[in-house]
Each structure stands twice: as C-alpha cells, then as structure tokens.
C-alpha cells in the first residue's frame, strides 16, 4: 500500500528531524508529547516543515535515508521549494 509518508520536522532549536509514518497527525503529536524520537524530546516543540506522501514503506524509508544524507542547507532548500 502506498500510504506511507516521509516528513521533516523543525524543532524549537531550528534543527531538522526526518522520519516516516502512515499517520502524520498522530506522529507529530507523539513527537510533541515526548514519546516520539529521542532526538526530538529535548528540542520541543516541533512543527511539520515538509511532507511527501504516496510511498510504500520501503520507498518511504529510502527517501528518509536519502534526506538524512543531505546538508542542512539542502534540506532547507527542499522545504522552501
């Protein structure tokens, strides 16, 4: 099924976090409740900065890995385009 999403969160300290999910609203709530990724727990609140939908699980994880390799500048360009 192509219901997986790859997303980027902007944390309170202006850092960026990339992840995958099938339910973006639930996942953002989990991050902001401190039950999401360990990285975001000390950088709350987080807000959704970028989202791409329509992936299989495998495709979403490959896209996440690709994005994580980008520089912060390249991620910022991706967010604004």
- What's the pTM value of the predicted model, to 2 decimals? 0.95
| CATH code: domain of residue 30 | 3.40.1440.10
Q: How far apart are CA 13 and CA 33, in angstroms?
A: 17
Give the model's confidence band at 70: pLDDT under 50 very low, under 70 low, under 90 confident, else very high.
very high
Interval 18-60: pLDDT, tens: 999 999 999 999 999 999 999 999 999 999 999 999 999 999 9
Quick one: 8 exposed, middle or buried, by C-beta within 10 A (0-12, 13-18, 19+)? buried
pLDDT of residue 50: 98
Q: How many domains does the chain have?
A: 1
Sign of the dihedral defined by the CA atoms of residues 48, 57, 53, 70, in that order: positive
Domain range for 11 is 4-80
In 3D, which of 2, 21, 13, 11 has the Cα closest to residue 61? 21
């Amino acid at each position: 099924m192509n219901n997986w999403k790859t997303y980027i969160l902007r944390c309170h300290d202006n850092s960026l976090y990339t992840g995958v999910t099938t339910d973006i609203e639930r996942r953002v709530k989990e991050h902001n409740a401190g039950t999401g990724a360990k990285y975001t727990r000390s950088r709350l609140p987080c807000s959704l900065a970028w989202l791409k939908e329509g992936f299989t699980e495998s495709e979403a994880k490959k896209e996440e890995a690709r994005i994580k390799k980008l520089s912060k500048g390249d991620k910022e360009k991706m967010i604004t385009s």
